[in-house]
Each structure stands twice: as structure tokens, then as C-alpha cells.
């Protein structure tokens, strides 16, 4: 398994939905590849931070301003 392969299937690995043989191959790769091991740690941390941010209740006015901003960006894209 190459580093590119690891990155392509990382979500399935972290979510625990990857077939066992493929997960074992990925784990073997991670044991010998420090950059991929670091990438996995960063990926997990990013997902955890995103999940934590999603639980924060945003004030109504801020939510409305964000929606207007995003809608405007989508119209101009």
C-alpha cells in the first residue's frame, strides 16, 4: 500500500468500516511510515475538533449572518 493509497482510504479506516484485510495492510504501512502515521494523527484530531465545533450552539444573529454570507458566496461562485 502506498502513501497515496492510505490517504484515499483513511476515512473508512478511521470510521472502522474498512474490510479487515485492507485495514491490516494499512496498519502495516503505518508502522513503517512516519509521515502517514503523522497524517493519521492530524486527520483524527481535525475530525475531533470539527465534531466539537458542531456541538457549539451559535447565537441566532451570528447564524443568520453566516447563512447570508454563505448564500452570497454561492451565488457569486
Number of domains, the chain: 1
Read off the C-alpha cell for 64.
443568520
**pLDDT tens for the chain, residues 1 to 77:** 999 999 999 999 999 999 999 999 999 999 999 999 999 999 999 988 888 777 778 888 998 998 899 899 888 86
Per the rule left: phi > 0, alpha: psi between -120 and 50, beta: everything else, 59 is: beta
What was the pLDDT predicted at 77?
A: 65
CA–CA distance, 65 with 39 (Å, rounded to integer): 34
Q: Where are the beta strands (DSSP E) in 1-77?
A: none
List the domain range (segments joined by +) for residue 12: 3-76
What was the pLDDT predicted at 41?
A: 95
Per the rule left: phi > 0, alpha: psi between -120 and 50, beta: everything else, 16 is: left
CA–CA distance, 42 with 40 (Å, rounded to integer): 5
Amino acid at each position: 500500500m502506498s502513501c497515496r493509497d492510505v490517504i484515499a482510504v483513511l476515512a473508512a479506516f478511521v470510521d472502522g468500516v474498512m474490510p479487515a484485510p485492507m485495514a491490516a495492510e494499512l496498519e502495516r504501512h503505518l508502522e513503517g511510515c512516519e509521515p502517514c502515521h503523522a497524517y493519521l494523527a492530524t486527520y483524527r484530531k481535525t475530525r475531533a475538533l470539527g465534531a466539537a465545533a458542531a456541538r457549539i450552539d451559535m447565537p441566532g444573529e451570528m447564524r443568520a449572518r453566516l447563512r447570508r454570507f454563505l448564500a452570497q458566496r454561492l451565488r457569486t461562485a
